[in-house]
A and B are shown apart, each in its own frame.
Chain A
Amino acid sequence: MTNSIGEFEDADLFLVTGSNTTEQHPLIGSRIINAVERGASLILIDPRGIKLAGFAGLHLKQNIGTDVAVLNGMMNIIIEEGLFDREFVEDRTEGFEALRNCVSRYTPRVVEMITGINRHDLEKASRMYAEARKAMIVYAMGITQHTTGTDNVKTCANLAMLTGHLGRPSTGVNPLRGQNNVQGACDMGALPNVFSGYQPVADAAARKKFEEAWGVGELDGKPGLTIGEMMDAALRREVRALYVMGENPIMSDPNSSHIEQALSNLDILVVQDIFLSETAARADVVLPAASFAERDGTYTNTERRVQLSRKSVSPPGSARPDWTIICELSRLCGYPMDYGSTAEIMKEINRVTPSYGGITYPRLENSHGLQWPCPTEDHPGTAYLHRERFSKGKGTFLPCEFKPLAEQPDEEYDFLLTTGRIYFHYHTGTMTRRIGALSREAPEARVEIHPEDAQRLGIRNNDMVEIASRRGAAKARAELTVRVPRKVVFSTFHYSESPINSLTNPAVDPAAKIPEYKGCAVKVRRCI
């Protein structure tokens, strides 16, 4: 997020797209609701009638996978009507002409054809966003989990830069991180191509710095594999061992039968988790990990805030904090790691990660956390990013052309399946499905289907239905609702007995390698 969570309270306008905020980030969703009640405007761009639709002044229901066209269309209107921020564009950006050329083809009529959004609504949304004083774009996986995920993100950034809606309080671009520490994991370099603080492994100077810090010889400058690539490599037997920590790829990765095959091809699968997940159940070795309450450490949340978390109970059985397992394993592999505590690890993070330079344990103990960038011990932390300049200097417009979903419905697979999450369960349910009250609230998977489609197929509310794609099939109960558009079904991947990711398309975004969870072709029938 370029802004902070507290800044939602003061925004004048929210453009929410691809985020079911009240379900997945409820405390941010509630700030949006409060702001709307005090007079802020809300534009929602989402194919489904999610809860925020009831608070939106304007709800644009785009066809799934047409986000680039929607946003390009908005930019075209904003440029045509002279509503863009000339000063911001001139002083702080580059590449405006290329952007103008690209988006000029996305006239309201063209966009209406691609996206299904009424041109007048698009014009209204464009004017509202451009003319707002403090506007925040809010997005989540609905933007990123596409084969055009990177393009979608770039296009959101283009829109914000064009209108100067960046670099001020309550004004910016806000991807909401879905897990308590996904930001922290990325910051620490749990990615195939960077060291901590996004220092590229391909950069010789960065490599040298880490070689010295760690007292090792030459570090590999070649980026590693992403999850999807690892699975493909395992199928080819190029990857022979996999060490999975706190992840459940059988449930969470697309095309699960392919994943199962890949895992069974390995020489050894090691899974480190707090419960025996579906993936852990197949492991050769399970390393029991301590849960959040059973260990010390820090988490970095969606607003880049690093917060200290203290051990309050002892881990059960032979479970141990992840860091001690990793240190021990490393020692056995011949590289001793002699950290005595998480505080010592943080000292190393401070030394080698510029944005975390001033985020020390003593400071975290006496505060509610610090927001990076926080380069030095006397730096107060950063509430919002890109204040006077972008980290690279000028912001470059990166215009993108609309590209359709990788898999389109056809005569046989005539529905689009879009996946998401629900309020009561977290990810693959490893934790939440073990909690009585949460299981009671949402005991089984549902498939949302439009009543007209359901009627045509003879499906009644609560009937078991089978949805099938070219890759697999799953059964779940039908929920007849106008929340979903016609010819679209929605379901979740929380339930192992309804493994929705056995259907999803493993086609990935070429840059980020994120799979297209948000749209694939399926057929639906009532189970007899």
Chain B
Amino acid sequence: MKKLPKAELKGLLIRWAEEYRVLAPGLKANGDCLFDDFDEESFTLDYGKPPLPPKSVCFPQSEITFTVDNGRYSPTVKAGPTILFGIRACDLMGLRQSSNFMNRDRRDPYYGARRDAAFTVVMACPGPQNDNCFCTTMNSGPAASRGFDLQLYDFGESFIVEIGSPEGEEFLSPFSLPDLEPRKAAERTSEFRSKASRAMRRADAVPEAMDRLKNGTENEGVWDRFGDKCIQCGACAYVCPTCTCFDVSDHVSAPGSGIRVRSWDVCLLGGFTREASGHNPRPTQALRLKRRHEHKMLYYNGDDIQEAISGCTGCGRCSDFCPVHIGTLEVAAALAGRDSPGK
């Protein structure tokens, strides 16, 4: 492990930004904090949980998969070396789960190329970033256990830098940062992690809901109640670090020419499962909500989830942003019978 004085961080980022696309937290003029192209002026370390996970770096909202020009097809895989600076452990888990899912049986060339070109620098969380964080419950934080290139622990004047990969080592090599005595550094980071974990909320309803779903003992009527109020905005899927469903559409510009595009999709929309005959195996909003949450809490692949306990990373964004409060926390509480009716 290395020591990085905080005063030197910007210099390091500036240096990286000369060669790579660096995405880092920035404070915008109107007070919003977003992950965006590194900009010296707006860069901030006071950013909590960014409103969006870094999902779009590997899986853009919309991307051209191939173009056709007078009958000639050419695939368009676009991936440039990118540094994700300061992502949270829950979001790294999201990237790892999605990457496994997208490349497990057959490599998704678009996702795969972008993921391979992305270098991750995790900022270990000192504690919950808001009331809806529950990474410790899902075993995805507050710090990453593996899968990162570098991980930073904030100790005030300086960071302890944990190196997670040979690339991580290589990226730091031009900066000649002082080495820390390994045992001492491990002690300090472990202390950081335990303190952060103790501060993190346990969302016991989530594992309880998972058990109940598995045993078929979940609270009845939950799906109908949520289905009645879901406004189908899709925000839960858009902000979810592990939602990677997409829709494919063709856009013809002239006979024999055009593009094929894939765009984020949302399983809460009726057309997502509607069949050509018009039959819909998930005909109601209640059933669509059930499916979505079962995919997070019941039907997930054991490899995909890495060391986490399910396909939900506990970032809490669905609960942060659902306008009618149908996030994982609310759904799990209802399934487990822990919510107060009328809430």
Contacts and interface: CB of A to CB of B under 8 A. Distances in A.
The judgment on whether A and B are partners is: yes
Interface in B293-343: 323-325, 342-343
A237 interface: no
A365 B32 CA distance: 12
Interface of B is mostly: loop
A54 B228 contact: yes
Interface string A12-27: 0000000000100011
B267 to A, nearest CB: 12
A445 B96 CA distance: 43
Contact of B323 (A26, A37, A440): A26
A26 B271 contact: no
Looking at A39, A366, A440, which has the most chain B CB atoms within 10 Å of its CB? A440
A208 to B, nearest CB: 38
A34 interface: yes
Contact of B325 (A34, A39, A440, A462): A34
B270 A437 contact: no
Contact of A22 (B231, B265, B343): B231
Contacts, number: 55
Sort chain B's interface into a size bin.
20 to 34
Given A30-B324, A54-B228, A365 B30 contact: yes
A33 B324 contact: yes
A366 B29 CA distance: 5
B232 to A, nearest CB: 7
Interface string B15-57: 0000000000000011100000000000000000000000000
Given A437-B247, A437-B265, A440-B247, A26 B233 contact: yes
B74 interface: no
B269 interface: yes
B271 A29 contact: no
Given A30-B323, A441-B271, A368 B263 contact: no
A440 B29 contact: no
Interface residues of A, number: 24
A367 B30 contact: yes
B269 A366 contact: no
Contacts of A217: none
Nearest to B343: A37
A437 B263 contact: yes
B335 to A, nearest CB: 18
A390 interface: no
B36 to A, nearest CB: 12
Contacts of B323: 26-27, 30-31, 34
A249 B260 CA distance: 32
B29 A423 contact: no
A462 B278 CA distance: 10
B232 A365 contact: no
Contact of B231 (A29, A366, A436, A462): A29
Contacts of B270: 441
Interface of A: 22, 26-27, 29-31, 33-34, 37-39, 51, 54-55, 365-368, 423, 436-437, 440-441, 462
Interface of B: 29-31, 228-229, 231-233, 247, 249, 261, 263, 265-266, 269-271, 274, 278, 323-325, 342-343
